């Protein structure tokens, strides 16, 4: 059974005590520990199959998967009946395109962004993909989105951590270490996690899950060509 937020809080209270200082925020500590674990190593258990994202007419951004968290974008591609190609860009480029006089754009540009905070009491919103030009019509499954997930913030007692069962021991160790750090102000509790037996064992288990990666692809000779259109050693002069 997946470990829950309530169980992680119980583990935290073993370290900081049930009657701990009220200034210690259990929710903050548990989620900081989870974010630390997720960013500690390029874990295979955070790799996700690509998903389809929708366009909404008149909306200048695209909603990303709920488990993206503080993850990594691997790529975006056109899907289905989408008129234009799509490419990753920067917010600066999107701003420039939005102020340009181009009336017939030939490509959608997207960039990771966080929504602006409207006040000082509301939390920062979830990350999303800003897009230019703004879609004129609704389109389901407009683009294919490849990504590596991040830690998903937990708030409810019954919420489960987005880690595999064999990673739960390491997550518990992270929660306890962060609790000890906040209780004693000794960062060594967190520093020792990096070389702890639990983390090292978890890295070995994670890296050994798929040892065969298949045929090599990509490289300089495939730059600018559609993915999968040619072999890794393809060239106009023939196979090298």
pLDDT category at 76 given cuts 50, 70, 90 is very high
Evaluate if residue 6 carries a pLDDT over 80: yes
Least confident of 69-73, 99-103, 140-144: 99-103
Helix (H, G, I), strand (E, B) or coil at 56: coil
In this prediction, residues 118-130 reach a mean pLDDT of 84
- Domain positions in the chain: 5-44+159-207, 48-148
**Residue 83, both tokens:** 């008129």
Per cent of the chain over pLDDT 90 is 52
pLDDT in the model for residue 189: 92
In this prediction, residues 192-203 reach a mean pLDDT of 87
pLDDT in the model for residue 97: 86
In this prediction, residues 71-94 reach a mean pLDDT of 90
pLDDT in the model for residue 89: 93
pLDDT in the model for residue 126: 85
Question: Measuring CA to CA, how many Å separate 165 from each of 10, 18, 171, 175, 202?
Answer: 18, 26, 10, 16, 11
**Residue 145, both tokens:** 């989105």
Mean pLDDT for the chain? 85
Evaluate if residue 111 carries a pLDDT over 90: yes
pLDDT in the model for residue 4: 95
The CB density around residue 153, as the number of other CB atoms within 10 Å, is 16
In this prediction, residues 180-187 reach a mean pLDDT of 92
In this prediction, residues 210-214 reach a mean pLDDT of 75
d(CA 183, CA 179): 6
In this prediction, residues 56-71 reach a mean pLDDT of 92
The phi, psi pair for 8, rounded to 5°, reads -70, -40
Evaluate if residue 225 carries a pLDDT over 90: no
Report DSSP letters for 91-119, one per residue.
HHHHHHHHTS--SS--EEEEEEE-PPPSS
pLDDT tens readout for residues 146-175: 999 999 999 888 899 999 988 899 999 999
pTM flag (> 0.85)? no
Evaluate if residue 3 carries a pLDDT over 90: yes
pLDDT in the model for residue 23: 85
pLDDT category at 141 given cuts 50, 70, 90 is very high
Gyration radius (Cα) of the chain, Å: 22
């Amino acid at each position: 059974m997946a470990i829950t937020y309530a169980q992680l809080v119980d583990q935290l209270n073993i370290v900081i005590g049930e009657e701990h200082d009220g200034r210690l925020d259990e929710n903050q500590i548990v989620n900081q520990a989870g974010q630390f674990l997720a960013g500690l190593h390029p874990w295979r258990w955070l790799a996700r199959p690509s998903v389809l994202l929708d366009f909404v007419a008149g909306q200048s951004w695209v909603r990303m998967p709920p488990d993206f968290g503080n993850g990594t974008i691997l790529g975006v591609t056109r899907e289905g009946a989408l008129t234009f190609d799509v490419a990753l860009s920067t917010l600066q480029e999107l701003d420039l395109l939005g102020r340009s006089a181009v009336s017939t754009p030939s490509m959608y540009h997207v960039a990771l962004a966080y929504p602006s905070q409207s006040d000082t009491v509301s939390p920062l919103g979830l990350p999303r993909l800003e897009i230019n030009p703004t879609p004129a019509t609704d389109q389901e499954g407009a683009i294919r989105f490849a990504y590596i997930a991040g830690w998903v913030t937990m708030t409810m007692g019954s919420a489960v951590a987005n880690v595999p069962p064999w990673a739960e021991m390491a997550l518990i160790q992270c929660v306890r270490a962060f609790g000890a750090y906040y209780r004693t102000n000794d960062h060594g509790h967190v520093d020792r996690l990096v070389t702890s037996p639990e983390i090292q064992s978890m890295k070995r288990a994670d890296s050994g899950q798929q040892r065969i990666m298949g045929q090599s692809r990509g490289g300089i000779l495939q730059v600018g060509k559609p993915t999968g259109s040619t072999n890794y050693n393809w060239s106009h002069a023939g196979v090298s």
